């Protein structure tokens, strides 16, 4: 590694080297030493994450927000109430929005030759308004200036025809469950799964197994006894999460430097699960979270530092600011201590984030309702989801303390041959073809009071 690095440095600094030779080589070694040890960011103590808004939501709705379906991506006068500039609440909240997000709309013009135009008109059922929109397509861009999550919304693109899968999801699910349940290693866990040094953990509806091929030093799996994910009950899901939580505590006790709990849950092969039997991967990492979440955690640190010099009560918790903004746009539903939100930088249609103050039974109930919504309302049986719990042993160190963070993203039609990810998702920008408000209007119907 050093060889490669010095190679680069030598080419870059050849004129200097020619002048100084030996002594400078030592100097460069020093630079290399410093560069190779990448110090992890120091984290500050942020104000706590709480699930109520930091501003008066009623006042905001009364004086500022017209409850637009769209996001304020163009001229603010189109989105806010007349005279909104006269109210400090409007200014304050818009300031919070602008402190994290940039939003803009651009128009992409399209021309269709006559025969193709006929086809397009047909797609829109000869609706002239929609056809006019197809000629001048509105693209709404949203970027988070701290995490660089970046999404483009084109509601019209959602209407383009997509070939339905040959096999319906019902037939696929029936066939798959029948085929896989007969010889399922996870159903037959006592004989067919590995065990880690902490031994097997079990409760009424769930059990653990070590992963035979690990992706982390502390890595275990937690399964319900139920093979068919579509039949998963709340009790089963609760037992899976409870057992994983116990395992985190046990691992942390044995190895206190492992502090960063993660649960990953993919559903069905189209969601990236290698086994049809539902299973949650739990890992406890040392030093920091996995990169994708650590980058969000560090975005939060930078946001805090940008507001650090404000008076004590104006200091910022990034996650709470994100929540504030989504509350302002009417994209959240809250249950005392738990907030469900449709992110304005969604990765896919029906991307959902849950932020919570505590990891408890009520939280698991909310997650359960979301998964039921995916299954029963959306007929969306494959998904990928993550649950990041706050760092363990916060008594000793509560800097960089993240809230309970859950995120779930649909992974496309279970029986479809078409992949739902592309160079957009993996390598560039997220593309979502329904506006957050339209998605939220559907999701809000999934929840019962808890």
Q: Kindly list the residues in this chain that would bind Zn ion in the complex (CB under 5 A).
A: 184, 186-187, 227, 274, 277
CB of 198 to Zn ion, least distance (A): 19
Q: Of 38 and 213, which CB lies nearer to Zn ion in the complex structure?
A: 213
CB of 197 to Zn ion, least distance (A): 21
CB of 421 to Zn ion, least distance (A): 17
CB of 346 to Zn ion, least distance (A): 24
CB of 227 to Zn ion, least distance (A): 3
CB of 187 to Zn ion, least distance (A): 3
Distance CA 214, CA 246 (A): 20
CB of 267 to Zn ion, least distance (A): 10
Q: Of 71 and 387, which CB lies nearer to Zn ion in the complex structure?
A: 387
Q: Of 130 and 187, which CB lies nearer to Zn ion in the complex structure?
A: 187
Q: Of 186 and 321, which CB lies nearer to Zn ion in the complex structure?
A: 186
Q: Of 155 and 271, which CB lies nearer to Zn ion in the complex structure?
A: 271
Q: Of 186 and 322, which CB lies nearer to Zn ion in the complex structure?
A: 186
Q: Of 89 and 186, which CB lies nearer to Zn ion in the complex structure?
A: 186
Residue nearest to Zn ion (CB): 184
Distance CA 73, CA 246 (A): 45
Could you give phi then psi for residue 398, rounded to 5 degrees? -110, 30
CB of 268 to Zn ion, least distance (A): 11
Q: Are 436 and 343 in contact (CB under 8 A)?
A: yes
CB of 291 to Zn ion, least distance (A): 19
Joined tokens for residue 407: 């995120």
Q: Of 47 and 272, which CB lies nearer to Zn ion in the complex structure?
A: 272
Q: Of 90 and 264, which CB lies nearer to Zn ion in the complex structure?
A: 264
């Amino acid at each position: 590694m050093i060889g490669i690095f010095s190679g680069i440095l030598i080419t870059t600094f050849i004129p200097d080297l020619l002048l100084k030779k030996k002594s400078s080589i030592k100097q460069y070694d020093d630079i290399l030493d410093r560069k190779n040890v990448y110090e992890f960011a120091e984290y500050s103590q942020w104000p706590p994450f709480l699930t109520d808004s930091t501003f008066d939501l009623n006042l905001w709705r009364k004086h500022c927000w017209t409850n637009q379906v769209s996001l304020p991506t163009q001229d603010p006068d189109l989105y806010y109430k007349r005279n909104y500039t006269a109210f400090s609440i409007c200014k304050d909240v818009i300031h919070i929005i602008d402190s994290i997000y940039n939003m803009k709309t651009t128009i992409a013009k399209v021309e269709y030759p006559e025969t193709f135009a006929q086809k397009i008109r047909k797609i829109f059922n000869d609706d002239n308004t929609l056809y006019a929109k197809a000629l001048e397509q509105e693209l709404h861009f949203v970027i988070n200036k701290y995490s660089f999550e970046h999404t483009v919304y084109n509601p019209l693109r959602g209407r383009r025809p997509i070939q339905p899968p040959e096999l319906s999801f019902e037939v696929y699910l029936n066939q798959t469950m029948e085929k896989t349940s007969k010889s399922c290693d996870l159903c037959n866990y006592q004989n067919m799964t590995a065990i880690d040094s902490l031994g097997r953990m079990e409760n009424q509806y769930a059990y653990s197994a070590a992963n035979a091929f690990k992706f982390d030093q502390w890595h275990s799996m937690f399964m319900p006894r139920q093979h068919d994910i579509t039949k998963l009950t709340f009790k089963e899901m609760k037992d899976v999460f409870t057992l994983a939580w116990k395992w985190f505590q046990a691992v942390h006790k044995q190895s206190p430097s492992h502090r960063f709990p993660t649960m990953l849950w993919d559903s069905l092969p189209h969601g990236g699960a290698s086994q049809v039997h539902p299973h949650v991967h739990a890992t406890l990492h040392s030093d920091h979270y996995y990169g994708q979440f650590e980058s969000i955690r560090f975005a939060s640190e930078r946001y805090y530092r940008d507001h650090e010099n404000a008076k004590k009560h104006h200091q910022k918790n990034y996650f709470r600011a994100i929540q504030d903004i989504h509350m302002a746009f009417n994209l959240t539903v809250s249950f005392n201590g738990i907030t469900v939100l449709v992110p304005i930088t969604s990765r896919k249609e029906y991307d959902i984030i849950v932020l919570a103050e505590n990891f408890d039974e009520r939280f698991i109930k909310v997650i359960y309702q979301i998964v039921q919504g995916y299954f029963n309302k959306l007929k969306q049986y494959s998904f990928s989801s993550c649950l990041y719990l706050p760092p363990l042993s916060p008594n000793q160190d509560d800097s960089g303390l993240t809230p309970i963070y859950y995120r779930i993203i649909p992974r496309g039609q279970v029986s479809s041959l078409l992949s739902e990810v592309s160079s957009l998702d993996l390598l560039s920008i997220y593309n979502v073809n329904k506006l957050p408000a339209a998605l939220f209007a559907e999701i809000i119907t999934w929840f019962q009071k808890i």
